[in-house]
Amino acid sequence: MNQHTALERFIRYAKIDTQSQEDSESYPSTKKQFDLLNLLARELEELGLRDVSIDTHGYVMATIPSNLPAGHPAAGKVPVIGFIAHVDTSPSASGANVKPQVIERYDGTDLVLPGDPSVIIRVSENPELAHNVGKTIVTSDGTTLLGADDKAGIAIIMTATQILMNDPSIPHGDIRLCFTPDEEVGSGTKFLDIKVFGADYAYTVDGDTPGELNKETFSANLAVITVHGRNIHPGSAKGIMVNSIRAMADIIARMPADVSPETTEGYEPYIHPHLVEGEEAKSTLKILLRDFNTPGLEVLRQKLEAIVKEVQAIHPKTRIELTITEQYRNMKDHMGSDTRLLDVMWEATKRAGMQPKWVPIRGGTDGSRLTEKGLPTPNIFTGGQNYHGTTEWLSVSGMEKAVETVLNICRIWVEKGA
* Domain CATH number, residue 315: 3.30.70.360
| Residue 78, domain member (yes or no) | yes
Last residue in a domain, options 306, 327, 348: 327
pLDDT of residue 3: 62
Torsion angle, CA of 83/89/91/97, rounded to 10 degrees?
-170
Tell me what the mean pLDDT of segment 87-93 comes to. 96
Residues 171 and 228 in one domain: no
Tell me what the mean pLDDT of segment 353-380 comes to. 95
Nearest to 106 by CA among 337, 398, 412: 398
Please provide the distance, in angstroms rounded to a whole number, between the alpha carbons at the two ends of the chain. Answer: 33
Residues 363 and 260 in one domain: no
| Residue 226, domain member (yes or no) | yes
Residues 323 and 334 in one domain: no
| Residue 249, domain member (yes or no) | yes
CATH of the domain at 25: 3.40.630.10
Q: Which residues contact 361 (CB under 8 A, 6 or more apart)?
A: 207, 214, 216, 217, 218, 379
Peptide bond into 273 cis (omega under 30): no
Residues 118 and 203 in one domain: yes
Q: Which one-letter amino acid corresponds to residue 107?
A: D
Q: At what angle do helices 396-417 and 148-166 cross, to 10 degrees?
A: 50
| Residue 97, domain member (yes or no) | yes
Distance between CA 261 and CA 222 in Å, rounded?
A: 15
Answer yes or no: pTM beyond 0.85. Answer: yes
Query: pLDDT at residue 245 above 60?
Result: yes
| Residue 402, domain member (yes or no) | yes
Torsion angle, CA of 367/368/371/377, rounded to 10 degrees?
30
| Residue 1, domain member (yes or no) | no
Strands 379-380 and 201-205: parallel
pLDDT of residue 23: 86
| Per-residue pLDDT tens over the stretch 278-318 | 999 999 999 999 999 999 999 999 999 999 999 999 999 99
> Are 90 and 364 spatial neighbours (Cβ–Cβ below 8 Å)?
no
For residue 363, give its domain range: 6-217+330-417
pLDDT of residue 324: 98
Last residue in a domain, options 327, 355, 390: 327
Residues 378 and 394 in one domain: yes
Query: pLDDT at residue 2 above 60?
Result: no
Tell me what the mean pLDDT of segment 350-367 comes to. 95
Residues 323 and 350 in one domain: no
Residues 272 and 334 in one domain: no
Distance between CA 80 and CA 101 in Å, rounded?
A: 38
- Total of domains in the chain: 2
Tell me what the mean pLDDT of segment 106-130 comes to. 97
pLDDT of residue 4: 84
pLDDT of residue 1: 47
Residues 202 and 244 in one domain: no
Q: At what angle do helices 296-314 and 244-253 cross, to 10 degrees?
A: 140
Concatenating the DSSP letter of every residue in 286-341 gives EEEEEESSTTHHHHHHHHHHHHHHHHHHHSTTSEEEEEEEEEE--GGGGS-S--HH
| Per-residue pLDDT tens over the stretch 257-282 | 999 999 999 999 999 999 999 999 99
Residues 245 and 338 in one domain: no
pLDDT of residue 417: 86
| Per-residue pLDDT tens over the stretch 68-84 | 999 899 999 999 999 99
| Residue 34, domain member (yes or no) | yes
Q: At what angle do helices 148-166 and 6-14 cross, to 10 degrees?
A: 140
> Are 219 and 269 spatial neighbours (Cβ–Cβ below 8 Å)?
no
Residues 181 and 323 in one domain: no
Residues 123 and 236 in one domain: no
Q: Which residues are catalytic?
A: 88, 183
Last residue in a domain, options 289, 308, 327: 327
Nearest to 148 by CA among 213, 85, 211, 202: 85
Residues 51 and 122 in one domain: yes
| Residue 228, domain member (yes or no) | yes
